Amino acid sequence: MTSMSTPWPRVGRAMQLGLEGVAGATLFAMMLLTTADVTGRYFFNSPILGAVELTQLMLAAVIFLSLPVVCWREEHVSVDLLDAIFPARWIWLRQVIVNLIVTAALWVMAGRVWALGVRAFEWGDVTEFLRIPTGYLIYLMAIMLAVSALLTLGRALGYLLEGVGAVARGGPLSPGGDK
């Protein structure tokens, strides 16, 4: 049996920090924009033009930049209906199946969203007031969905390797896992 001592945890951590950093900076910018807009609106009777559109775009970016991290950490909203009756020795199989289903769903969504991005550029879709092209954001969403699909596929593989005994420690089922 081998151990999970590969460079992948470091790569995953770097990607996680990068995505969290960009999402956090976007969230901070959204907070500053909202604060400036509200201050301008109520104290100076001069709101920031297009603040609502910018907030909508930044909110979508924050959500989709955070999605791969949520998938890797398995911090989705979940319902544990079968946990009490599921035998502990088969948890790895359940997790493989669940992660493969999530991978398939994310991959299908990534393909459909990418097609929407292509269409947005073909049709010249822009925001209503500021005329910002929406295709770039749609492509970002599709890429983050695809990255999330790859990460859940990696999770499924980790559960499979640990479940069949190919990996001794350090996989998703180990105490502390590889999060």
Query: Which tens digit of pLDDT belongs to each residue from 19-72?
Result: 999 999 999 999 999 999 999 999 999 999 999 999 999 999 999 999 999 998
**DSSP structural state of residue 170:** S
* Two tokens, residue 162: 């640990």
pLDDT digits (tens, 9 = 90+) for 56-71: 999 999 999 999 999 9
**3-class SS shares of the chain: helix, strand, coil, % to 5:** 70, 0, 30
Quote the pLDDT of residue 2.
46
Tokens 């991959």 found at: 107
Contacts of 68 (CB under 8 A, 6+ apart): 15, 16, 19, 144, 147, 148, 151
CA distance 103 to 30: 30
pLDDT exceeds cutoff 50 at 3: no
